[in-house]
Amino acid sequence: MEYQIIGPTTLDALISLPSSKSISNRALIIHALSGGTTRPANLSDCDDTRVMNLALSNPGTAIDIGAAGTAMRFLTAYLSVTPGTRLLTGSERMKHRPIGPLVDALRNLGAKIDYEEREGFPPLRIIGTRLEGNSVTLAGNISSQYISALLMIGPMLPQGLRLHLIGEIISRPYINLTLQLMKSYGAEAGWITPDTICVHPGGYKDTAFTVESDWSAASYWYEALALFLFKHRGQALPDNIRVSLPGLREDSFQGDSRGARLFTKLGVQTRYTPTGVTLMPGNTCVEYLEEDFVDIPDLAQTFVVTCCLMGIPFRFTGLQSLRIKETDRMAALADELRKLGYVLSCEQDSILAWDGKRCPAQPSPLIRTYEDHRMAMAFAPASILLPGLHLAEPQVVSKSYPHFWADLRRAGFDVREVD
């Protein structure tokens, strides 16, 4: 499938964002561990949450989570403390995404996990058992999902869990989000030093919990407004240029809420209301943007595409986790932006930069999405400046934002399927 997208002539939209995938998946695991009957409310309807829900409600002996990386990591830990023997597998891409550090940590606690094919990668055969260990040491620069997976089973261990992180700790907000959700369900857990977390035994309580809207999904609407304002710079703007996003909270524990502050540098102002946020035209833009994305890697694609199209040179660090996402996001961004005439440089497997260098753009580029939902959503707003932009495999957005294309149409984008 392929879409052709034409940006709107004005931008005044009220968008109901999906619920947070990160919160939904954590809440589902913690709810299952609680053994309670009060299911989390306002769960995400995305693919990742759907497969997590299915795996927890009807696990069977073989669980295929497709391309859902969060589900693979969280379920690996969950199944280790849940009675039964199960095969946990996924898509072909998932079989190439490493899981060794998590498996090693769980084995150190007493878990019974075997690799069915290649050492260090799914699929996994997991025999649920009582884990007698209580202490794990991990590198702080591994995926926060490994850390969160371990933390969430901590209250179920007879002696609790002491988790020590060595070196730079990346994606700390995601760890704090996990700890906050654990506390919401009655667990006692927290940092006891800047690099050590203690989780007390005692399990979870059956608790009513409502999932908030997704700040990661909001980033694409910030991008759309930023590009719209850039397109009309120096012109009189149409009336009522704004995007309203109910369900977002200023005090959110989602790390990606920091995107609101970053977008002020790109000309988008955020007004917080009792029901959510409203995006409005802000001040003039910076001429150069340097930022560390180690805590917010899921926003990298949004800002890379936005800055290139706005002609703002940048240097973004802390991107080491992008190499092992749904695709190699650093390589994918460089390849697709080159089609549009932008030459990015990759440094040390953790830095993406653009110094303003251009190359001839392809006359009718087709943007590949690489089975990566964030590639599709980050490039779609580019149609505001590149009318008629073609994008391949648009259905990948179902992984986190199933009604993304419907929302674009609601906001005035012309999105049509082409042969």
List active site positions.
298
Residues 203, 11 contacting (CB under 8 angstroms):
no
Round to whole Å and give the CA distance between 278 and 271. Answer: 5
Q: Could you tell me what percentage of the chain is helix, strand and coil, using 3-state DSSP and rounding each to the nearest 5?
A: 40, 25, 40
| Torsion angle of the four alpha carbons 179, 113, 60, 152, in this order, in degrees rounded to the nearest 10 | -10
Q: How many residues are given for the chain?
A: 419
DSSP state of 249: -
Residues 63, 88 contacting (CB under 8 angstroms):
yes
Of 240, 216, 217, nearest to 228 (Cα)? 240
DSSP of 386-403, one letter per residue?
A: STTEEEE-GGGGGGT-TT
| 3-state SS, residue 106 | helix
Round to whole Å and give the CA distance between 405 and 398. Answer: 10
Q: 118-142 as b/e, with b when 16 or more CB fall inside 10 Å? A: eeebbbbbbebeebebbebebebbb
Q: 225-245 as b/e, with b when 16 or more CB fall inside 10 Å? A: bbbbbbebeeeeeeeebbbbb
Round to whole Å and give the CA distance between 74 and 92. Answer: 19
Residues 293, 330 contacting (CB under 8 angstroms):
no
* Amino acid sitting at position 168: E
Round to whole Å and give the CA distance between 147 and 144. Answer: 5
Q: For residue 290, how many C-alpha atoms fall within 13 Å in the half-sphere facing its CB?
A: 1
Round to whole Å and give the CA distance between 330 and 313. Answer: 16
Cα→Cα distances 66→72, 255, 384, Å: 9, 26, 33
| 3-state SS, residue 164 | strand
Give me 331's structure tokens. 């390589």
